[in-house]
Structure 1
Amino acid sequence: MAPRKAPLRLSPWLRRSIKSVIHVVALGYLVWLFYAGITDTLGPDPVDTLLNETGIWAIHLLFITLLLSPLAKQMRSPAPIQFRRMLGVYVFVYALAHLSTYILFELQLDMALVLSELISRPYIVVGMVALLLLLALTATSFKVLQRKMGKRWQQLHNAIYLILPLTLLHFSWSQKTFWQEPIWYWLAGIIVLAPRAKQWLITYKKKRSRKQAKKSAAKANSPQYP
């Protein structure tokens, strides 16, 4: 019998190096986008480009974050999980940059117009819900809060599986179509969420079976009167 391979573990130096690369790429690209927008080198409509790039890359980073757990299981190694929190925070940063661009540059900080847009454009409300959930996940991503919250922490962070469809709905609605580019994101989303949905279904069936078994046992043990 072949010896079982030890799970892949990253050295502290390699882990820090990968995190440094992620910081440089993710933060560097965001800084460059806004610098190019301010210096008017983002094309004929810099605000539209900023909105598209920050929104699309928030989705891309969300997909990468969701893929880390399946990757860790496939590799039988905790190494990919070590970057999940950082990438999750960058999902929020890009989503916040997306909203900030819209309010600051598109609506010119006109709060009456912001309220009007929320009422007249439901896809913005969907995006706001996704952003608020991301904010909750980011604010509670620290290990201290994880320990304090216990099981509630995992229940809250399972909201990331709701954030993805909300984000894709916001994107598709803003594009005024579910076809063309959005359909590919939805297909990717189904592929990413399918294993999790299968696990939820298995867990639900097990819980239901246990409840039915307890009811049957209670009924069998209850006193019978003629």
Structure 2
Amino acid sequence: MIDTLNTTLRRVPPWSLYILAALYPAWLLQQGVTGGLGVDPVKAMEHDLGRRSLQLIVAGLCITPLRRFTGLNLVRFRRAVGLIAFFYICLHLTVWLVLDVQILSQVWADILKRPYITIGMAGFLLLVPLAVTSNAYSVRRLGRRWNRLHRLVYLAALLGAFHFVMLVKGFQYEPLIYLVCVIVLLLTRLAPRRRRIPT
């Protein structure tokens, strides 16, 4: 079953994910313009893009455990998932900067005064070098350092989850679920690898 699924997935080009990813923000903008996002479309777009970004980061973290524990191989899609997550985070940040806050001096004040924004911005900055080096040239150029650099995604994922937890008002289960998912996915990387029994 897994082998069949892996064979089918090998026929799906990773670039198709970028096309699908571009459709969602376009749909979200259309909903905001036509009133489909409620009385505060800016906040709705801002929060929804942030949520989708975190979902994609979690999905990216799932790829290694899925291959390790189930045999499902989605590694060829990992770069696309990571870049799409970064793209959505950039849109999330752009909506906050341009449509929500709008005043540059207020942006800096919010980053310094509001811990959840400080944490979210730190997570974003950690992802910048990962996005810049997500290409074959950088992999060849950096060698083993590339893998060490891209482990920053673990810390960025934690910061993103904490950003969501601190953002919401009152006790809500959803951000805590994301935080638990990130922690569990990181812990799976500490599990000892099974040795192959020679046949």
Identify whether the pair has TM-score above 0.5, normalized to the shorter chain. Answer: yes
- Aligned partners of 1:7 and 1:76 also within 8 Å: no
- Aligned partners of 2:158 and 2:183 also within 8 Å: no
Specify which of 121, 124, 139 is matched with residue 146 of structure 1. Answer: 139
Specify which of 93, 96, 99 is matched with residue 90 of structure 2. Answer: 96
Which residue of structure 2 aligns with residue 167 of structure 1? 160
The question of 1:196 aligning with 2:179 is answered no
- Within 5 Å, which residues of 2 pair with 1:82-121? 82-108=76-102, 110-121=103-114
Specify which of 12, 15, 35 is matched with residue 12 of structure 2. Answer: 15
What fraction of aligned residue pairs are identical, expressed as a percent?
31
Go from structure 1 to structure 2 and tell me whether the alpha carbon gap of 1:188 and 1:6 turns closer, same or farther (over 3 Å shift): closer
Q: Deviations over 1:19-43 (max 9, x none)?
A: 42x2343221111112222343321
Q: Deviations over 1:33-68 (max 9, x none)?
A: 122223433211101110111010001111111111
Specify which of 62, 67, 70 is matched with residue 57 of structure 2. Answer: 62
How far apart, CA to CA, are the structure 2 residues paired with 1:35 and 1:6?
38
The aligned amino acid for 2:175 is: P
- Within 5 Å, which residues of 2 pair with 1:208-219? none
Deviation larger for 153-162 or 65-74? 65-74
1:135 aligned counterpart, secondary structure: helix
How far apart, CA to CA, are the structure 1 residues paired with 2:61 and 2:96?
26
The question of 1:155 aligning with 2:138 is answered no
The question of 1:25 aligning with 2:12 is answered no
The aligned amino acid for 1:151 is: R
Specify which of 73, 76, 81 is matched with residue 75 of structure 2. Answer: 81
Go from structure 1 to structure 2 and tell me whether the alpha carbon gap of 1:175 and 1:144 turns closer, same or farther (over 3 Å shift): same
The aligned amino acid for 1:61 is: L
Go from structure 1 to structure 2 and tell me whether the alpha carbon gap of 1:121 and 1:191 turns closer, same or farther (over 3 Å shift): same
What is the number of residues matched between the two proteins?
190
Q: Which runs of 5+ in 1 are unaligned?
A: 200-226
1:42 aligned counterpart, secondary structure: coil
Q: Which runs of 5+ in 2 are unaligned?
A: 193-199
Go from structure 1 to structure 2 and tell me whether the alpha carbon gap of 1:25 and 1:7 turns closer, same or farther (over 3 Å shift): closer
How far apart, CA to CA, are the structure 1 residues paired with 2:9 and 2:52?
29
How far apart, CA to CA, are the structure 1 residues paired with 2:188 and 2:88?
27
TM-score (norm 2): 0.86
- Aligned partners of 1:7 and 1:75 also within 8 Å: no
How far apart, CA to CA, are the structure 2 residues paired with 1:90 and 1:11?
19
Go from structure 1 to structure 2 and tell me whether the alpha carbon gap of 1:7 and 1:119 turns closer, same or farther (over 3 Å shift): closer
Aligned-pair CA distance for 1:15: 2.4
Q: Deviations over 1:148-204 (max 9, x none)?
A: 1011111110111111110011111111456432221122222211112445xxxxx
